[in-house]
Amino acid sequence: MIKINIMATIKYLLQSQKENSNIYLRYSIKKGLVLKRKSGYVINPSEWSKDKGQPIQKNQELKTLKLKLDKLSVFVNDAYNNAIDKGIEFTGDWLQHQIDLFNNKIIIVDLDILTNSIDFYINSGDNLSSGSVKNLENLKKFIIKYEADCLKGKQVLIRDIGLNFIDVFKKYHKGKGRSINYIGTYITIIRAVINKASLNGIPTHPQFKQIKVIKEIKEPEEIIILTREEQELIRNVDLVREAHINARKWLLLGCLIGQRASDLLNIKESNIKKIKNLKVIELKQKKTGKQVVIALHPNALKIIEDGLPYKITLEHFNSYSKEVCREAKINKLVKGKMRIDDKRTLTVGMYEKWQVISSHVCRRSFATNFYGDIPTAVLMNTTGHSTEEMFLKYIGKTQYDNAFLMDDYFSKLAQLDK
């Protein structure tokens, strides 16, 4: 008998006196939960020790059989220990699955295959945001391409994803010019998919828990915003092209409602609501899946009452916004990133601000310009930041800035008390 831990034990036994009797694996997990299945091995009862629960060690063939049974015990033990904290139901089918895996008899179907598990995750009903779904779909495309390029079409299996797989995966994507953070994002998603599959009884690689998230440490990002004064310049500049006038509306509206471009550029009349005498924009954020209600600044209200801008692609919004800012002479020199000569890599340098304007400036301008005027919790609820630390980092602030704001607040209270 091989002891697994305080509660679970394995014992091998025969249930027949036939010449080729099946060796059964009896797995006692706790009182009232004893599983038993064929081990996949047979033996002549005359060569079996009932007392020891193992082959009699009288020749090399029987010694080899004992070694296989010992390895099977370790395999089942590892599977049990990996599954015990995951809420998996231990049944005879679960035990049979482990035995089949050990003996390489398992039929590779469904969630064993990584791409199938990705599909399962997408369709699991976990209320995933559209951004999460898109990342999962992109991961599936990566895996299919990886299988074709590196595995000659062989499918990646959940149980094969260990440290070696991750190392090869990283090298493959680095060779494609992808950044460390980009690769790290998809390794994180792979971990989530495997966790989901393991909850459904799919065995994982022994090294799975050693797979770490990777992230590149970067220098603090230059904060590019449009100040209130710059927004006024944009509002008042004479524009001729209809495309520029339309892009200006989106740009200024974005700086006043603090949404990502994926949400901003999809605002329609149906998102405009009236609550008593208050007009608001109500939408569900694509990335977070969060429902937000945004009170409208007077300037935002004017844009809407003059007629919502017509729909525009993100690519056109970015290019037209640069041109609008150039016309408005938003040309202060700032440190930023640009693609030079349409190259994929971004080049850091000093540029006129209009050159580095993109859709990201809207949400960040809103958060920065209204910081201190609107409670941080309200701003975070609007921008969709989950923690104050992330929010402050996003606008280039620290907890010390909060302390100074509090001091200003106390000073104002003191003046009122006089």
How many other C-beta atoms lie within 10 A of the C-beta of residue 326?
Answer: 16
Provide Rg for the chain, Cα atoms. Answer: 31
Give dist(CA 317, CA 300) in Å, integer.
18
Position 72 scores a pLDDT of 94
Give dist(CA 255, CA 359) in Å, integer.
10
φ, ψ of residue 123 in degrees (nearest 5): -95, 15
Half-sphere exposure of residue 180: CA atoms within 13 angstroms, side-chain side: 7
Give dist(CA 261, CA 352) in Å, integer.
22
Residues 208/81, Cβ–Cβ less than 8 Å: no
Residue 4: pLDDT band by 50, 70, 90 thresholds?
very low
Q: What percent of the chain has pLDDT over 70?
A: 88
Of 377, 379, 361, 371, the C-alpha closest to 401 is 371
Q: Is the pLDDT of residue 11 over 60?
A: yes
Per-residue model confidence as pLDDT tens digits over 168-179: 888 888 888 888
Q: Is the pLDDT of residue 247 over 90?
A: yes
Per-residue model confidence as pLDDT tens digits over 29-61: 988 899 999 999 999 999 999 999 999 999 999
φ, ψ of residue 126 in degrees (nearest 5): -85, 15
Determine the average pLDDT of the residues in 200-204.
Answer: 81
409 Cβ partners below 8 Å, 6+ apart? none
Residue 85: pLDDT band by 50, 70, 90 thresholds?
low
Token readout for 226 is 């449009």
Give dist(CA 283, CA 290) in Å, integer.
8
Alpha-carbon torsion (313, 314, 320, 324), positive or negative: positive
3-state secondary structure the chain: CEECCCCCEEEEEECCCCCCEEEEEEEEEECCEEEEEEEEEEECHHHEECCCCEECCCCHHHHHHHHHHHHHHHHHHHHHHHHCCCCCCCCHHHHHHHHHHHCCCCCCCHHHEHHHHHHHHHCCCCCCCHHHHHHHHHHHHHHHHHHHHHCCCCCCEHHHCCHHHHHHHHHHHHHCCCCHHHHHHHHHHHHHHHHHHHCCCCCCCCCHHHCCCCCCCCCCCCCCCCCHHHHHHHHHCCCCCHHHHHHHHHHHHHHHHCCCHHHHCCCCHHHEEEECCEEEEEEECCCCCCEEEEECCHHHHHHHHCCCCCCCCHHHHHHHHHHHHHHCCCCCEEEEEEEHHHCCCEEEEEEEHHHHCCCHHHHHHHHHHCECCECHHHHHHHHCCCCHHHHHHHCCCCHHHHHHHHHHHHHHHHHHHC
Residue 341: pLDDT band by 50, 70, 90 thresholds?
low
Residues 368/361, Cβ–Cβ less than 8 Å: no
Residue 328: pLDDT band by 50, 70, 90 thresholds?
very high
Position 399 scores a pLDDT of 66
Per-residue model confidence as pLDDT tens digits over 360-378: 999 999 999 999 888 889 9
Q: Which residue has the higher pLDDT, 106 or 370?
A: 370
Burial class (CB in 10 A: 0-12, 13-18, 19+), 202: buried
- How many residues belong to the chain? 418
Q: Are strands 278-284 and 291-295 parallel, antiparallel or unpaired?
A: antiparallel
Reported pTM:
0.56
Token readout for 390 is 């992330």
Of 258, 256, 234, 229, the C-alpha closest to 247 is 234
Give all strands of the β-sheet with 9-14 in edge-to-edge order. Answer: 2-3, 9-14, 21-30, 33-43
